[in-house]
Amino acid sequence: MRNRNIFLQMFILMIGIFLLIGSTSDAQQNNKMSQMNKNSTRENKKSSIPDWNKKVRISPRAFLTQTIGLTDVTISYSRPGVKGRKIWGGLVPYKKVWRAGANEATKISFSTDVLIDGKKFPAGSYSFFIIPNENKDWTVIFNKVADQWGAFEYNEAEDFARFNVKPQSSNFHEWLSYTFSDMKVNEKGKNSAQVNLNWEKIKVPFTIETEVK
């Protein structure tokens, strides 16, 4: 009888030891998984930060959004400064495709379809370029490859639209900027606004139209 009791006690003790070992192993595994998840979350957060946010840019990044009718128009660009340099025909050569800003190509996005220079633009994003010319109209370009660096990989075959605009003299702007002006607002029917690229003593305008039905 005594031997049987000893055997039961040893058996219960062994079960307790196995349960303790299993519990410790599970806790270690859970801690390991929790740490891996934390590291993964940290890496995802890190990788989601755009490269342009990691350092100060000489030509700062800028975003501008204007609602025209029911359409949100967003311009994403970088702002170079004049800094005493000759801009037109100098830093920005004539007769060459220019990114209309600095760093990445300027990007213009439309939340709905719009009309520019009589042409319908489907909702979406487009890269925006300009070809400056001396003593004549300039060419503005909307390209279907929305995200690209400068004009280095610009491909004319990907152009969605090109049209000419007349540059205008303006007050001096040290830093390149985009603005909206000449707003026309209607509850039903056509709405419009003029987009202006302003830099040094030049303004390059074009008009965006939207329809409210």
- Give the per-residue pLDDT at 56: 86
pLDDT tens by residue, 31-58: 544 454 444 444 443 333 345 557 888 9
pLDDT tens by residue, 53-101: 578 889 999 999 999 999 999 999 999 999 999 999 999 999 999 999 9
Q: What is the mean pLDDT of residues 121-134?
A: 98
The percent of residues above 90 in pLDDT, for the chain, comes to 71
In angstroms, the CA 109 to CA 75 distance is 7
- pTM, whole model, 2 decimals? 0.74
Q: What separation in angstroms does the CA of 31 have from each of 23, 47, 64, 185?
A: 12, 24, 46, 60
pLDDT tens by residue, 133-185: 999 999 999 999 999 998 898 999 999 999 999 999 999 999 999 999 999 99
User: Counting runs of H as helices and runs of E as strands, what totals does the chain give?
Assistant: 1, 10
